[in-house]
Amino acid sequence: IPCIFAAGDITPSVGFHAEIYRTANIGATTISMFDNGYPNQSFKLLIKDDFTIIDFTGTNLKGNAGVDWSPSNGDWMECVFDGTNWYCSVYDCTA
């Protein structure tokens, strides 16, 4: 069962050792980092709203060629943590 990020949380925790997380934002929310990660952790993030933005500029989130990502409901990304940065691949499934 996926863990659901609290609506409006811009630094959601991924410390629950889950493999899948979901967004559930009800207003514009820019995620700028993930809290409580550990080295070599990986997870998938399912976008389950139309309000989430992922901040890939000037944060420890690396991906999408350094451009912020505004996914749609049904898109997803996969991230791995090296202890400093999250390296993320984005999957735009709704375009």
Helix (H, G, I), strand (E, B) or coil at 54: strand
Identity (one letter) of the amino acid at 59? T
Helix (H, G, I), strand (E, B) or coil at 69: strand
Other C-beta atoms closer than 10 Å to the C-beta of 79 total 23
Alpha helices in 1-95 (DSSP H): none
Q: CA torsion sign, 63 to 30 to 33 to 5? A: negative
Spell out the per-residue pLDDT of the chain, length 95, in tens: 679 999 999 999 998 889 999 999 999 999 999 999 999 999 999 999 999 999 999 999 999 999 999 999 999 999 999 999 999 999 999 86
